[in-house]
Amino acid sequence: MCGSLLRRNSAGTDMTGPASGARDYAVGGLVYFIPDNLAIDVRAGVGLNRQANDFLAGTGFSVRY
């Protein structure tokens, strides 16, 4: 079960840096594929400097057609 769960879904992290402007964030999230053509995701992050928000969170979905 764990093997099939990892093959169909993913997790990741992202970090924006000075090239993206004055706001720097460290963000991580999960993507869950319901059928192969529909995915939902959640993400959360923290600001790394004073210009950035302290916390951020979001959700989303995507459809492949």
pLDDT value at residue 15: 59
The tokens describing 62, both together, are 């995507």
Strand partners, 4: none
Is a pLDDT exceeding 60 seen at residue 6?
no
Residue 9 contacts residue 33 (beta carbons within 8 Å) = yes
10 pLDDT band, cuts 50/70/90, is low
Question: In sequence order, what E strands does the chain have?
Answer: 10-15, 25-33, 38-47, 55-63
pLDDT of 50:
85
Q: Rounded to two decimals, what is the model's pTM?
A: 0.64
CB of 24 closer than 8 Å to CB of 49: yes
Q: Is the pLDDT of residue 20 over 60?
A: no
pLDDT digit string, tens, across residues 23-65: 888 899 988 988 888 999 999 999 888 888 899 999 999 998 8
